[in-house]
Amino acid sequence: MDADAVFASHYPRARETAQIVLPALGHSEILEEAGLGEHDPGPICDGLTYDEFERRFGDPDWENDPHGETFPGGESIAAFQLRVGDAVRGLLDRYPGGRIVVFCHGGVIDTVLRQSLRTSGTGIFEVWTKNTSITEVELVKPGRWRLIRYNDAAHLAGLPASTNAH
């Protein structure tokens, strides 16, 4: 696959995955884009498993108020979505008409899909992106996106189940 640039979020797991795939992309450099990092839970919740988070804070209202607090002291859904949208816009401005490969996170992909499909930022339907899956979108023209593939995990066929679990 020819790519004009390869990006990863600043999280180690995204950079490690990018390092593994980089030779197949014909690139030697991974560019970092912190705006493509996962929803930031803030210092109070960082490092908690989701089960631990729910035991301590309950089940947050993910559907109704994107400006409300979902993680005590963390990033709101609205702030997360704005950050991701700004990062994607920045990449499109830097590489107009180019092919960009991004190694990021499920929440980032969910946000990009919701924004490019112009659907509600929360609720209405669930987007459940699998870890290590491939999603491909194409900017056809400003304001018009094409979803090429979503949640493609064919490259995981035959691997142990724990490797490709969500």
Every domain of the chain and the residues it spans:
5-163
Q: Mean pLDDT in each 10-residue stretch from start to end of the chain (166 residues)?
A: 91 95 91 97 94 94 89 95 97 95 96 92 84 94 93 91 56
pLDDT of residue 28: 87
Pairing status of strand 134-141 against strand 31-32: unpaired
Distances (CA, A) of 10 to 17, 18, 35, 41, 74: 12, 11, 8, 15, 17
pLDDT attached to residue 162: 61
Q: Please tell me the predicted confidence (pLDDT) of residue 163.
A: 53
The reply to whether CATH 3.40.50.1240 applies to domain 5-163 is: yes
In 12-155 the beta strands, taken as DSSP E runs, fall at: 31-32, 100-103, 134-141, 144-152
